[in-house]
Amino acid sequence: QVQLVESGGGLVHSGGSLRLSCAASGSIFSILAMGWYRQAPGKQRELVATITSGGSTNYADSVKGRFTISRDNAKKTVTLQMNSLKPEDTAVYYCNIVTLTLRSWGQGTQVTVSS
């Protein structure tokens, strides 16, 4: 069983920054990728950023240049540095892990950006 524990959400003014962290624990083998998704009220969950075990990254167009994803393979953690936040970034952010045998989600952390 895999557990993902997220931290770092909160309330910030437009233009501010937040840093999200996610730690994975449990029976985890052969992590292929970790990443962040978000879901705003009334909208579908969407990709924010992902990073493979080799370090390749993928970002949603809406966050390119503002968000940076990084990971520590040894510690099984993934971090999302979010700068120049906008009100449209407001959402619940979910950590995600993909291995050879499973895909798992964290419980989510709320990010609210006020204008």
CA atoms of 13 and 81, how far apart (whole Å): 15
Q: Is the Cα torsion angle 61, 66, 112, 110 positive or negative in sign?
A: positive
The pLDDT averaged over each successive group of 10 residues in the chain (115 residues) is 93 98 90 95 97 96 98 93 98 96 94 97
Q: Looking at residue 21, what is its pLDDT? A: 98
